[in-house]
Every structure is written in structure tokens, then in C-alpha cells.
Structure 1
Amino acid sequence: MRRMTIVGWRGDFVSALADIIIERTGADMRRTLVIFPHQRPRRHLVEHLAADPALPKPMFLPEALSVNEWIPQLRQELDPRPLRTVNLLDRAGLLYEVVAGLRREGSGLLAELPVERERFFPWGARLAELLEELFRHGRTPANLQHLSGDVQPMAAALLEHLSLIHERYDAALAERDWTTPGRDARWVAAHADEAAALMRDRQIFIAGFYALTGTEDAIFRAAWESGAAEVVLHTDPALATGGHPHWTCSEHVRWIERWGATPEPHDTAPDDAPEPDISFVEGFDLHSQLKALEETLAVSEPRNTAVVIPDTSCLMPVLHHLPIKDVNISMGYPLTHSSLHRLVEIVLRLQETSQGPGRYYWREVIALIRHPYLKMLEPAGTAPLRGLLREFEKSIRGGGKFLDPTAWEPAADAWPEDADAAFREIQLSCLRGVIAACCTRFETVRTLAELGDALAGIASELVPENGEGPWHRFPIDAECLFRLVKSSIPALTDCAISRDIYPRPVLFSVLRQLLDRERVPFEAEPLTGLQVLGMLESRLLRFNTVHILDATDDKLPGATGYDPLLPDPLRRELDLPDSRHRSLVSAHNFHRLIAGARRVRIYYQCGADGAGPLGGKSIRSRFVEELLWEEEKRRGELLRSGTPPLESVTLPVRGLPTAVHAIEKTPAVQDALERRLAGKSVSSSMLDCYLRCPVRFFNQYLTPLRPVDEVSEDGDPAELGTLVHDVLRTFLTSHVGRPTDLSALPATELMNLFSERLRDTAFFAQMPWDMRTALERTGRERLRRFLQGQGMTTILRLEETYEAQMRIDERPVLLKGIFDRIDERDGEPIILDYKTGGMGVPAHGLWGDDELWNDVEDWEPGGESPLARLAERLPSIQLPLYSHLYAESVGTMPRNAGWVELRDTGAEKFLFSDKADDDLRERAISEQTPAAVRFLLRHMLHGERFEARPGRHCDWCPYGFACPRG
């Protein structure tokens, strides 16, 4: 019986493998070949041999290959025919031809389904990956029948013909002299004896494998049985000593039994190394884990330390929290998580939301020019482009819903004062080049090759011709851009279907799926110091200290993504590995990594909610539960959070802050306020603004701040209100001065006038069709209801202005109001104000609340302010102020004042109820209202600061961006 060498998983596999190679071959390693599961251990082996003082220098190092590099080499040596290894796009295109041919033959479920290129590609990509996996395992699939209702219709149709699809696909590849990595592996496995004979003059070491594919098993076994190869396993040493191996080594047990091998330990000396010191850190979320990791690394030696990240999407926050920035990253980072992918997605959305060439949706254009890659562009000899982009955004926000970004010409004041003609030309040329690359070049793409060329145009704009620029400061972004240029773009331009014409949605769908599969590899140097790895990249490597982050069950072993073509329960029907097998592989990698370390800290979260509407709290990995259970059995008691080795991340909990957010009133602010009151009249809108929130008053009236400009695609409430006021004034002007039954007037005339004026507005033209239709119909109906609810009245004035003087601490202040309408009813004046929005209806019993009014009249600077109480009871001072202005100007007390609620039924809501007597009404208008106005103005002038008053109004405050509440 032949042997398999066992390296105990508590030892350094690379070091042991180097000793075995030297023991078998001596110092002459020129005929030695080492096959690894992946590329990473090769670097460590070379470094170990180079640092060995016992080996003569110079010397020939052994050749080390990953299995995915070695098998294609074997294929080329055994079969010298020039074969083209095709990518996923070629395979999906070939499968479309195969499936379309089967459909034309009219057999089974395929005859009932449309097989169109634009809809088939997602299925073709999954089918190609399934057939590739079958090639790797050396399986010839059977048809899976009667799956209608269990899987999607297309999946059922494809699986029903899987055997024939596999056969014709294989034949089509052979006919074109095409191949795939899986097909190479299957071919070499079918010629395993010939491959073994080819390797007899070499010393081969099959090192560190765990679970083999079917083709790997056949190729390795033939080489091993011929004596050309030796198998070295990194596993539980109990396999060689006759003990009970760890349950995760079951694949090694089956491997040894299947081959009839004799396991022999590499080192027969007893293993006296101490058990790894394992501690557990329980955090509420990822950020609390990173805080604990940062604190630990800040006081520890980074040498021979690994930070292992099961979820690659956590790479960026991990790098941000590491106290040591010079680290070695070794993992595949998803391109979809990069800023580059976000830029590509914006470019695609620009085309998908456009209304034709030169008509791009304004929000997407702003998203483009706000992207950091464009903002950091710095044309040679000038400044960064972000200043010009800022002016471009201002122009966009003040324009229409769709625009031509190539037609923008910056105004003279958009440039810096010292910008000469050359500066302007260089900057504008750079901007136009970027816009053309991101917009214009994508307007006419019809093929995958043209799409790839358009993407290459973006890359050329981002990287200057001289190769300089800020990319050296952003290595991860640079790696992503390199991957796009060297992998994704060639996949589009060099495939067999690259010149076929497809609809634009198909092209964009293909590109998105291609980018979803891209992983950006990081193979940085040096190999010493702090290492940041994925779980797969840690295979066969050993570290003294290991930090495993986010060890939750959805990451370790990880949830298997749903495959709509071949769901997990059907994989066994094709004799393919299922989720249980993948979980076993993940468990072996986890326990092997821990076994070789001296100190292990495992971080996980227990408080954050899982994804999805039914997602519960994250739970620690089943592998972590196993380790905790073993520790509890050893101690004979349950471990409690907060006691070693089960630590808990605790953050200081403080009470809610009670400080009021405010803006201090500096002398400059006080001066601006006094100039504002002295130079302009005071309106009810200004007083209401202060009453609602003094901070908003400060931002709106005392600073140059203005609300952010937005294109009015959802309508403009302020403009709509102005329009409605104008329509009603025009409609009612001819009836001023005479008694009229307004409900008898022609409602159609009013509604048509509204429609005519509405259609002429700019904001209405920018709204979507459905919103325009809804607004017009709703507005017409509201005006009809308003007119229907009106009765006999005499309109005295429309859009009339009234003023009155008031002295505030010997300072004259002019009060002013524009009344929408004044009617005469039963011989007394009624003030009306149209409202298309909300109304500040006073609280019940306001005018009889003597305690409040006494506090309002008696307030002095420095004393307790009744402002908040007044604002709660009197949300708006408009109608009381209008009543007071009318009484002061005309000398007659109005009977009442009311709002006309145009946003609903057009009903009138009055300031005073029918039960209010003349004394209460007269006191409110002539005494309490002036007292409230005087208090507000004195509070403005003498208050120490402008305090924010939080409330529901904060949700739609246009100055929220400048609020100290954040």
C-alpha cells in the first residue's frame, strides 16, 4: 500500500512541506513540482526556502502551481491542438444556439416557451456554469423530468433536456476547437494514465487538498499510483496515529479509504504545543466588533497576525479601523462594492432614463458630476474639476427635468477671478471629454464590442495620458480600474458574439451580470506583518495570532444563494456537491486555521437585525457554538457574556442630551436683525416663521442661505398656491362691489381658467404625465367644490394691502399684510385668506387663557420665555394680525377672519367661533394680538440666542441642511 503524508494541522504546513521536499529531493529541486489548491501558499513556500540557511545559494527552486494552472498545462502537453479557452459570454451564446435548435425541433417544454436572446442570457450564464461544474466533476448528467411547478418554467424546460444540451454543447465546443477549464480537466481525467506517464521523470507533491472534484481525484490518483506523485495532507494528526480524527476531516478519511492509502505522520515526535488560546468577542453590530479589534491591535505586535474576513464586503470598514495601515491584503474583493461600479451604474442609468440623445434626466446627471472620480480630475496645469462641476450642478438645478449636458456653457462668474483663457479652455475641454465619454458614446452602442469600447473611453478619461494623477493615493480604486480594463472590457470585445447586434437592455444586462462576477484580487507584499485575508485565502497558512471578524452563521458557513436553475435539493440528483458539502469544507478551513494558531479572537454580532422582512437577529456561527460548547464541557458550567473567554463589547451609555440647539446672537447678527426691521416691513409670514422656529427665521431672513434648488418634477407647492390665488382674483374681479351668489357662478369657467394657467407654468411641464393629469383634475375638482360651497356675499376687496405702525421699545416698526379677499356679510366685514396648504388654527380657549397672555405682556429679556407655549396655542398669527391691521387702517373692527381651505372642500374656517362675544373678539384684535406681535418682535431683538424648536415642521423645513440639530 502506498502512503499519504500527514502534517498535523497544529503545525506550519508550508515549513513541513519544505522539509519533506528537501528530504525527498535534496538541494536539487529543478525536477520538483508542487501542486497547491490555490496560489497563495506558493509565495510562502518560496520565501521559506529562500530563507533556509542550510540550502546552498544560488539554487533551483521547485516549480509551484495551483491546480487550475497545472491541468491546462497537462492538456497542452498531451493534446498540442491550438484550442481557444472561451469566456462566459461565448459559452452563453453557444448555449443559446443549442437551446434554440432544440426548441425548433419542438420537443418537450421548450417548444412552449419563447427563447429570445435578450431573455435567455441570464439562464444561459447559469446553465454554462452548471455544465462547467459537471465537466469538473466528470459527470454526464441525466435529464430531470417532471419539475413543472417546482422550479421556474425555463428551468424546468432546460433540466428536462439537460443530457441532450450537455451532449450538443460539448460537441459544439469540439467542432469550434473551443474549450473551457472544466472541459480541460475532464479531458485530462479521461487520459489520466497518459498524464501519469508524462510525469514519471518528475517528483510531484500534491499538497494541502481537502475535497477533490471528480477530475482531480482521477488525475491525482493516476499520478499517485504510478509513483510520480506524493500526497501531503494538512489535517488532524489522529488520522495517522489511529485516534479519532476531528469530524471536519471526514473528507480526508474517505479519500484515504477510497485510495487504500496508508497515512503516515510527517513528525513522529509527540505534539506538545499548547492548545490555542481562544477568546470570543460579542458585539452588537459590525462597528462594535471593529472597535474591539482596533483596541486589541493597537496594543499588540502585528507580526505573524491575520485578520480574517468571511464577508469580503467588510474589507473597507476593516481597513478604515486598522491602526496599522501598511497591511497585506490577500482576497478577492467584489467589483460591485467599488466606487468604479457605482460610476458604471450611473452611466447605464443615464441611458435608461433618458428621452433620447441629448435629453438626460437631471438627477442622474447630478449623480454623475458628483461622483468622486470626476471631482478629483485635475487637468494638467489647472485646478481640480470640482469647482466647475459645482457651477454645473447649480445650473442643472435651476433648469428643466431633461437636459443636454454637452450644451452647457459656464457663465463668466462661474470661473475663479484669476482664471485666464487657457485655464478655462483646459477645464472646459476636460469636462466635455468626460461628459462625452459617459453620455454621448453610450447613445449609439449596439454590440458588446461597442459597449466595451465605450467603457474603455471612460477609463481613458479617468487616467491622464502621462499616467499621473491621484490614483496612487487610492490603490484599491486603482486595482478595480485595472480589473475593468484588463478583464471586463476584453470579455466584452473579444468574445465570439461581440459583433452581434442586441437591444440596449440586453447589452446592459450582460454588462451588469459580468461585473457581478468580477473579483478584484489583491496580492500585495510583504508576506510578513499584518495580513488581511478571506477565509478561503487562509487555507494552508499558519499565523500566531488570528482575528476572525463577523463570525455569524450567515457568513460562516454562509447561506447558499438560491439558484433558480438548479436549487440545492436537486444537486444530489446530478451527484454534485450540495450545501451540506460546502458547509463541511468551510468547517474544515475554520478549524484548521484555529488549530495552528496560538491566540485566536473570534468576533461576532448578536444584536443587529438580519436582512429581509422576516430576518431575525444575527446569530453566532454554528462553528463558534461548537467551540463554546467544548469550553463549557471542559469547565462544567455555562459561559456567561462578559466573563472570560466570552467578552462583550460595552459602550458608555449616556442620557439623552437636554441642551437646546441654538445659534448665539453675536453683535453682527444683532446688527443684521435691526437693519432688517428698520429697512423692511414685517409680514405675518415673518412672524409665523419666528413663532414656529427661531433658527429657521435666522437662516431665512438674516443669512444669505437659500433652499437648495431642485427641478420641480413633483410640482411646486409655492408656485401652485400663487397660481390658484391669481386664478381666483381674475375670476372674481368682475363681481367686486355687488352682492353675488358665488355658488351660482359658472364653475366650468373657473376650472378652465385654472387649467389654462396651469398648463403655461414651467413646473407643470416638468412633471410626469400621470402627476400632471392628477394635479389638473384634482385642482379643477377642488375649485368646483369651493365655488359650490360659497353663498351670497359682497366682495369688497381683492388682493388689498394694509399697513400699521407699531413701536417696539421706541423703535418704529411697520406691519404689513396683503389680504386675499374682504367680504361684507350681514353688514359687517369678513377677512378671508386662501390656503392651498396647512392652516394654523388657534387652540380652543386661546383668547381666554389669561395666564398665557399675562406672561406674554409681562415678558422681559432674561426672564422665562412663553414663546413655546404661545407657539403651541397659536400656530399662526396671520389672521389675528390681519384683523388688527384692518381695524387700525379702516377704523372698523372686522366681524371675523377665516381661512378658505382650498386643498379639500373649500370650506371656511374662522378665527372666532359663533359663540365668541363682541368683547372677546374686540379684546383679541385690539389688545392680545398687538401684545403677541410686540412680544415676538421684542423676543427677536432682545433674546440671547435663536433656539431651535423641533417639531413636525422639521420634516419639510427647507433649511434643514443648516440646522444645528443635524
Structure 2
Amino acid sequence: MKTMDNFLFHIARHIYEKHPDDLGDCCIIFPNRRAGLFFSHYLSEITDKPIWSPAFLTINELMQEFSDLMIADNLILIFELYKVFRDKKKTPENFDEFYYWGEMLLNDFDDIDKHLVNSHDLFQNLAALKDIQDQFAYLSESQLEAIENFWGSFKKDQYSDHQEDFIRLWNVLFDIYKLFNRNLEQKKIAYEGMVYRQVVKKIRENANPALACKTYIFIGFNALNPCEEILFEYLKKENKAEFFWDYDEHYFGNQYHEAGFFIRKNLKKYPSFPGNFSFNHLTRTDKNIEIISVPSYVGQTKLINQVLQKIHNPDDIKYFNTAVVLADEHLLMPVLHSIPEEITEINVTMGYPVRNTPVFSLVKKIIELQQYIKTGSGGNFLFYYKPVLSILNHQYIVSRDISEIETMRNSIVSQNKIYLSQKELWTHELLKLIFRKIKSPEEMSAYLMEILYYLFDKNETEETNGVNPLSLHKEYIFHIYTSINRLKEILKEKDVKISLETYFKLLNKIVENIKIPFTGEPLVGLQVMGILETRVLDFENLIILSMNEGVLPKTNPPHSFIPYNLRKGFGLPTIEHQDSIYAYYFYRLIQRAKNVYLLYNSSPDNLRSGEMSRFLTQLKLDPGINVTEKDVSFEIKITPGKQIRIRKSSKIKEILNTYHTRSSHPRYLSPSAINTWLDCSLRFYFRYIAGLEEPGEVLEEVDHIVFGNLLHKTINHLYQQFGDQIIQSKNLMDLRKESNLVEKAIKQAFEEEFNRGYPFELTGRNIITREIIKKYINQILEVDSKYAPFSIISLEKFYGHNITTQIYGTPTEIYLGGRIDRIDCKDNIFRIIDYKTGRASYSFAGVESLFQQGDKNRNNAVFQTFVYSLLFVHNNPGKIVSPGLYITSEIFKNNFDFGINLSLSSPRKKIKVEDFSTVKDDFIISLKALLAEIYHPDTEFRQVEDIEICKTCPYAKICHRE
């Protein structure tokens, strides 16, 4: 085992040599628990004979031993604080409103007690005090100045609204603090600071705490609060204490260096026991410190492999002399995925946060489900589709391979169901557990626990059968289950009414600090840890990630109700205090390391500045420390994309042949399908050959496609009532005046489009959409009344016909078909009407322009209408057909004309296509040529060249054109 210049190893040897016979009577206090593990290991290396181990404690645990109060759960404390607040404040604030800053106030009380602040003085309205200096003579001049600066802004009898609110609450905070502490003391519970203050009170009143150990040895501390100082002083006076401080002369000897701010004070008050150990390592010439700039947050983790290879010596990793330290612990999983496979022994100190587990994500989705349940007209509960789909798509549900769930997912999307009834959802026992209405937060815990128990229990059953898809998550389920049970017991005990939203906040608060430890030997292998876990520990090789300003040190102070100047004035911790602490953590960590690699993200984004930490800037500017800088850039190779081409295989030909009339199960080739081919033959392949459905989604608000559907459906509902009778102008004007009939037709259209027959409630922007549709409908009625009289021949009726074309010299019949929006008749002229709610044009440059492949300016609306006209003519030979468009953006024009126009360039004029027969022959020739091309064995499906066409394509991601 390589001990290098290891502080903890040398201290262990020193203590063993000083206490060879009474080591078991010693109590060793560390800043964290992990240091005790390493210390025990070093003791075992120092001696090979059996010894009584000393006791290992943290400072918090030591204070707890000296107190007769029990530190309570934070949630219990906030409930207790709320009761006092409600009584003293005399306001109707509920717990939901109180919770956020109740936490803040609890933290402030903790600071007040740990720093022995006179709470009565702090919570005075000092704006009314004439002479602050007389009242607070015990404070320093700088403290008094800070207090006066704050209260000086409060002009007597001229408070602003915000100042009034502040003072109103400030005036009762002392009473709240006093009563809160009294209530807790009666129950023998406390927050941490209250325990600290009680221990100090015992010492000051000579009711000294019972000392269970012969010697108390404090190792590796830095910032001490006044309570800890008084305890140290007491034990020192009783000759029961020894102190060992971990530092480097480089920052200790520089009175301006923030890393040594607390250590300099501590060593004066509590001198360290002498030992033959050097404290001068930071400026050693053989130290390698590299600052590495990486233009990516996660990209930092990709450098770990390269840095580990530089270390070379595998023993450094095997014997825990190498550590990867995360200033930002969110990088944990990317780091673990980036460690080379040959490093098989890894010890992760942080644990995996339960809040990031799949089971907790399911719990969040279930709680969200409850927040969006509404009651239908018949008293039935209706479940909002978004959380329903989110739950049905969750891995815990999907992994159970329940066929009913897959069917349900598909039907929600295909039938556009916004709300679903229990009857629809109760297709499986698990779904019956989930899709229930929970009436109160009190029921929520039992509800969630029942679901989790089911998942855990079924997991056990599956394991006995040798199939165990959820085995890795059983521990996750257990931890969440126990957390929910804990919250249930607290809510029951405190009897406080809360909302579902607050319930989730409380559960989240409980869960956020729970971490599931990774399996592994803590004293073997590569160490992966956070900054706080590194205290007192030394490593020969260090890789520290996220050395960015705002991450290390953090630039945002803890939330506090006590303003900055008052915190400073009364000696409470401020942001400067926090900076000094983290400066010490950083410099102490690197001081004995041989190789230090400091990585930071140089790429700014919305949340991160891209600026290196000020600690790195200090290192660079320090003449006594050698630092090298490196910039890492990731080479981006842009390979010209090749056009995607797909040849016709026998299987593809077989699918295409299903559109032949000789096929046993013929399908029809629609105008939309042919338009798709003309836009991009590859999209045609994806949709009509490969059968890749264009991604569906539930629409609760109207997009342009749905808007068109609603308009179509509304017109159909209005015109169906006329049957085959002649529609007069008066009929349409009367219909226009009966707004309730139009609104009824629109509502029916919404129900068909969104809820497939279920009652649909218009809300939000859909109300605006209804009014817009109503406006368009009224204008269509206006336009039609001017054209009347006419009769409706068909609405949304299917027409089909066989087109014969030559493929390799062989006559082949292709079945074309489609639904025509509307056909009406007047004076033996049959109008083929296609409604267009999007962008469209009445003009085309000639029949050949309609068949220009990959041309974004091609008029696909005219093409589609001509195909419809052709289908009708073939089914009704000898009829005069007039193709036309109702483009909603054009129907309000005074000279509106539905007709399609052929635009000639020379001479420049437009010719209206009043009779489809004038273009029919040319259109048929071009259409047959196109069909022959589509069916030709050598024709490939090709990606369109003009990427503008790809912007609205649902398959753009497949083609890398998104």
C-alpha cells in the first residue's frame, strides 16, 4: 500500500504511538463518516496485533451524545413550526403557502442557534431605535455598520409596502422562535442548531455533559461555529482534547488567502499536537497540475479515459490512490459510463439518488394523473390523456407485456381521446389499481403503496419463474415505499390539511436526500466521490470535474429570510463564509496530490457560464504553483450526406402490385399518395410500402390539419339535411341566421374529431377556433347562397376507377380512388369542390407542371382536384365537370371565384378551366406516364433534393433532414 505523504496515515500512526494502551478509550471525531473507514484501514497497516478500536463520530453525532434532545425529521419540524406560525401570525395561510419559506425559516433558526445569536436583538424592529450602538455594544464596529446600513433604509412612518410586510412579520419572529423552541423542548425533540445550543448551555451553566471517552481527538476540521468552538474550549480545558489540523503552509501563511481563513484562527486557539509531518506540499516542483478546458458539459467525462491512461500504474487505481471528484454530482452517471472497462474495481461514495430512479418517475406520473382528473356529466371520473399515456408508456408498465395496454395506447392516439373513463382503462388488475380517483392527500399514501406493493410482489413472483425484468429495481421500490409510508405516518400524526401538490413536494423532500449505495469495497479501486466526501482524504492522482465558476464555488447564497446585512451584522454565515469553506476544500484536496487534472466546461449555455472557477484563476496567477493549461476540442467530421436510394426488391414489387385490380386484395392509390410520390418518392416508400405510419399524437388543440377536418365535418353536417333537394339561396341565408344550428354542427364536429363520440367541452383556444370556423362557415354559406340554386350530389363520397398503363409493354390496370369533399350540380354542370384551409393557389402553369417531381412550387391542390375530376368523369361519362377549390383565405374576397386557372406566360393571361374535358386528355397521358414510372422495376425510391420539402415531413429524422 502506497501511503505517499498521507495526512490521515501519519495521524493514525501518531495516535497509535501516543495511545498504545488506551486507544479503545479514545473517541475520534471527523468532519465526515468516510474518513473513519480510511483511518481504521491505516491503523490495521500500522500494527498487525489485535487492538481495541477507538470510537468514530462526526461532530453532529458528538453533540447529539451530549444532549438529551433527539434531532427530529425536518418535515416534522416544519409541521411544528407551522402550528406556531399560524397561532402567532394570526393569518389564514395554509400549509401549502407556508411550506417553502417554512424551510427557509427553519434553516435560519438553525444558523441562529449554531452561531449563538441573541434572537431577541436580531428580531427587533431597529428602524424605531434611536441609538443602535448603545443597544449592541457587544458587536464589532463592522457588524454595527452592517446593521445600520440595513435599517437605515427604513424611514420612520414612511415604510414602503414591502417594508411594511417585512416589519409585520419581523415583529413576530422572536415570539415564533421562542414558542417553537419551547414546544420542541417539551417533546424532547430538536433541530440540529437547538441541540448545539443546549450543549453550550450545559457547559456555561456547569451542568457539564457526561464524557464517555478518555480523550476526544478532532481531526481535519476547518470552519467552526461558535458552539463547536465552546465545546472544543471546554474539552481542551478539561485536558480531554487533541486537535489535528490539515493544511498547507502556502495558504496558511498568507493572511489574504481565503483557503486559510479559518485554519489560521483555529491553530491559534487550539494548537495541534506536534508530529513529524510536513505541511509544505502545494508548491513542490514535482507536482503536475493541468487545467483542461473542455467545450462540453458531459464531454468532460469523455476525457477520463485518456487521463487514466496517463497515470499508467495500475496499482494507483487498485489501491485507492486515484479519485474522480465531481464538483457537480449530476455528472455521476455519465462518469460511470466513461470509465474504461479494464478498470473493474470502482468505489462510488455518493450513492444513486432515489429521485432519479424509474420507480420515482412512475410515482410522479401517478400523482400528476390525480391532479388532472375531472368529473364527467354522469358523475364518472375522466382521466386526462397526457398522464395516462405517460403511465402506459412507462418502462414498469411496458415491461409487463400486457396486450390490453398496447391496444389502449393505440386507440387513445388513433381516436384522439382527450379524456378516458375508468371503464375504458380498467382492462387489467394493475390498471385498476392506478386509475382511481383519490379524494384527499390522506388517501394518497395508501394508494401509492398499494401500487408499489403490487409491482414488488409481482416482481418476486416472476423471479421464481426464472424471468425477472424488474429485479434491478426492487431496492428502488422498497426505498420509495418506505419513504411514502414515513410521510403517511407524519401526516397522520400532525393532522395538517395539505393539497396534492404539497403532498408531492413533501414526498420529493423526503426522497431527495435518499441515496442507494453502490455495491463495492470502499477501500479498493478507483474512487468516485463528491467534494464533501474528500475531506481529510489524500489521493496521489486527482481528476476533478466541473471546475466552473458557479459550481465550485457556488455563487448563490443559501435562501434566508434574514437579509444579508443583518446576517453579516450578527455574525451569521454569508456568501463570503461559504467561499472560504470551499476554497479550503479545494486547496486541501490538491495539496498532497502528485497529479491533478482540473477539467471545466468552457461552453456557456442557459444554465452555465462557461467560465473557469476563480480557484483555477488563482492557481494560474500564483507564482509559487506550476500549472499547465490545455484546450480540448472535439473534432467534428462532416461527411457529405449521400442521397438515400432504395431499389425495388421482390417484396416491394409485391406490395406495389396490391394496387393492381388483378390483385386478390386490391388497394386504391389515392391522389394524396401520388402527390406524396411527386414530392418525395422516399416518403412514398416509408408511408405506402414500408407501412411506417406517420407519427400520431393526441390533439387537444387545433393544428392546420385538424382545422381542415373540423371545417369539412361542419359543412357536411349542415348540408346533409338537404338531401338531394334543390338548395335555394333563402335556405342558406336562413341557415346562416340560425347561429345555434351552425354552433351545434361545429360542436358535433369537435366531438367527432377529438372525443370520437364522447361529450367534448370547448375550453381555451378551442373556443377561439370555434369562432373562426363559424366565421368561415358563414362566409361559405354566403358564397353558396350567391351561387344557388344547386343540389348536393355527394359529400365525402368515395370514387374509384381503373387506369390502364403500359409497364414493360404490358397493359396494367392500377386502381385509383379517393374521397371527394363535395360534388354539387347546377344547370347540368357538376362542380368538384375541394376545401383548402392551408396555403393553396388556383393557378397552374400547365398540365406538365403538375407532374414536376421534387418541385416545391408544384400545385398539388390542383393536381388532387384534377384526379378527383377524372374519377368522377370515368364513373359518370358525358357529364360536364367543373373542378374548383374553396380556399378559406380567398373566400372573403368580393370577386371570389372557385375556378382553377391555367396561367399562360405568352401571351400573359389566365384561362379558367370551366370544363375538365379541356385538360383531361393531357392529364391522363401524364398520369399514365407517372404510374408507369412508379411501377417500373428499375425506378428507385429517392430522397428529394430540395430540403425545403422536408420541413413538414414526419420522416425527416430518419433521413437526417430534421
Q: Residue 783 in 1 paired to residue 784 in 2?
A: no
Is 1:199–1:223's contact at 8 Å kept on the other side of the alignment?
Answer: no
> Shift in Å at residue 912 of structure 1?
0.5
Q: Residue 189 in 1 paired to residue 212 in 2?
A: no
Q: Which residue of 1 is the match for residue 133 of structure 2? A: none
Q: Residue 551 in 1 paired to residue 547 in 2?
A: yes
Structure 2 gaps, min length 5 = 128-153, 904-908
Give the distance between the partners of 1:741 and 1:947, measured in 2 at CA.
53
| Bigger mean CA offset, 468-477 vs 363-372 | 468-477
Which amino acid in the other structure matches residue 218 of structure 1? Answer: I
1:317-396 matches, within 5 Å, as 317-323=334-340, 324=343, 326-331=345-350, 334-355=353-374, 358-376=381-399, 384-385=400-401, 389-396=405-412
**CA 1:917–1:341 in 2, change beyond 3 Å: closer, same or farther?**
closer
Q: Residue 808 in 1 paired to residue 796 in 2?
A: no
Give the distance between the partners of 2:297 and 2:524, measured in 1 at CA.
26
Q: Which residue of 1 is the match for residue 941 of structure 2? A: 946
Give the distance between the partners of 1:351 and 1:871, measured in 2 at CA.
49
> Shift in Å at residue 877 of structure 1?
1.3
Q: Which residue of 2 is the match for residue 838 of structure 1? A: 838
Q: Residue 590 in 1 paired to residue 586 in 2?
A: yes
Is 1:397–1:709's contact at 8 Å kept on the other side of the alignment?
Answer: yes
Is 2:367–2:504's contact at 8 Å kept on the other side of the alignment?
Answer: yes
Give the distance between the partners of 1:536 and 1:280, measured in 2 at CA.
21
Q: Which residue of 1 is the match for residue 656 of structure 2? A: 673
Is 1:550–1:605's contact at 8 Å kept on the other side of the alignment?
Answer: yes
1:398-797 matches, within 5 Å, as 400-404=417-421, 408=425, 428-429=428-429, 431-432=430-431, 435-436=432-433, 438-440=434-436, 443-447=438-442, 451-464=444-457, 480-486=476-482, 489-494=485-490, 497-516=493-512, 518=514, 524-560=520-556, 563=559, 565-566=561-562, 568-611=564-607, 617-630=609-622, 645-655=628-638, 657-678=640-661, 679-707=666-694, 710-714=697-701, 716-717=706-707, 719-727=709-717, 729-730=719-720, 733=723, 736=726, 744=733, 746-749=735-738, 752=741, 755-756=744-745, 758-759=747-748, 761-762=751-752, 763=754, 765-766=759-760, 768-771=762-765, 773-790=767-784, 791-793=786-788, 795=790
Give the distance between the partners of 1:817 and 1:344, measured in 2 at CA.
47
SS in 2 for 1:650: coil
**CA 1:24–1:405 in 2, change beyond 3 Å: closer, same or farther?**
farther
Is 1:32–1:202's contact at 8 Å kept on the other side of the alignment?
Answer: yes
**CA 1:468–1:530 in 2, change beyond 3 Å: closer, same or farther?**
farther
Give the distance between the partners of 2:954 and 2:251, measured in 1 at CA.
71
Q: Which residue of 2 is the match for residue 847 of structure 1? A: 846
> Shift in Å at residue 696 of structure 1?
3.3
**CA 1:749–1:945 in 2, change beyond 3 Å: closer, same or farther?**
farther
Give the distance between the partners of 1:88 and 1:26, measured in 2 at CA.
42
| Bigger mean CA offset, 524-533 vs 63-72 | 524-533
**CA 1:517–1:836 in 2, change beyond 3 Å: closer, same or farther?**
farther
Give the distance between the partners of 2:563 and 2:289, measured in 1 at CA.
37
Q: Residue 161 in 1 paired to residue 172 in 2?
A: yes
Per-residue CA shift, 1:714-762, capped at 9, x if unaligned?
36557525413523542665564x8858875641358715624743744
Is 1:89–1:497's contact at 8 Å kept on the other side of the alignment?
Answer: no
| Bigger mean CA offset, 307-316 vs 384-393 | 384-393
Which amino acid in the other structure matches residue 621 of structure 2? Answer: W
> Shift in Å at residue 873 of structure 1?
5.8
Structure 1 gaps, min length 5 = 1-8, 77-82, 105-112, 377-383, 411-427, 636-643, 857-865
Which amino acid in the other structure matches residue 655 of structure 1? Answer: I
SS in 2 for 1:651: coil
Is 1:256–1:263's contact at 8 Å kept on the other side of the alignment?
Answer: no
Q: Which residue of 2 is the match for residue 143 of structure 1? A: 123
Give the distance between the partners of 1:273 and 1:56, measured in 2 at CA.
34
Give the distance between the partners of 2:19 and 2:510, measured in 1 at CA.
45
Normalized against structure 2, the TM-score is what? 0.81
**CA 1:350–1:903 in 2, change beyond 3 Å: closer, same or farther?**
farther
Give the distance between the partners of 1:722 and 1:685, measured in 2 at CA.
17
> Shift in Å at residue 349 of structure 1?
0.7
Give the distance between the partners of 2:737 and 2:523, measured in 1 at CA.
82
SS in 1 for 2:289: strand
Query: Number of aligned pairs?
Result: 880
SS in 1 for 2:855: helix
Q: Residue 256 in 1 paired to residue 234 in 2?
A: no
> Shift in Å at residue 918 of structure 1?
7.9
> Shift in Å at residue 319 of structure 1?
1.5
Q: Which residue of 2 is the match for residue 20 of structure 1? A: 14
Q: Residue 296 in 1 paired to residue 312 in 2?
A: no
Q: Residue 933 in 1 paired to residue 936 in 2?
A: no
Q: Which residue of 2 is the match for residue 862 of structure 1? A: none
**CA 1:482–1:654 in 2, change beyond 3 Å: closer, same or farther?**
same
Per-residue CA shift, 1:425-451, capped at 9, x if unaligned?
xxx55x25xx52x454x714443xx54
Give the distance between the partners of 2:473 and 2:165, measured in 1 at CA.
39
| Bigger mean CA offset, 213-222 vs 775-784 | 775-784
SS in 2 for 1:191: helix
> Shift in Å at residue 293 of structure 1?
1.6
**CA 1:43–1:487 in 2, change beyond 3 Å: closer, same or farther?**
farther
Give the distance between the partners of 1:873 and 1:396, measured in 2 at CA.
35
**Percent identity between the two aligned chains:** 20
> Shift in Å at residue 599 of structure 1?
0.8
Give the distance between the partners of 2:822 and 2:190, measured in 1 at CA.
84
Give the distance between the partners of 1:777 and 1:815, measured in 2 at CA.
37
Q: Residue 267 in 1 paired to residue 277 in 2?
A: yes
Is 2:715–2:777's contact at 8 Å kept on the other side of the alignment?
Answer: no
> Shift in Å at residue 163 of structure 1?
2.3
Per-residue CA shift, 1:514-571, capped at 9, x if unaligned?
4445555668523221111001111111111111112111211123256263454543
> Shift in Å at residue 884 of structure 1?
4.9
Is 1:687–1:877's contact at 8 Å kept on the other side of the alignment?
Answer: no
| Bigger mean CA offset, 903-912 vs 597-606 | 903-912
**CA 1:775–1:169 in 2, change beyond 3 Å: closer, same or farther?**
same
Per-residue CA shift, 1:464-484, capped at 9, x if unaligned?
389687899999966654543
> Shift in Å at residue 291 of structure 1?
1.6
- What's the C-alpha RMSD, in Å, of the aligned pairs? 4.1
SS in 1 for 2:325: strand
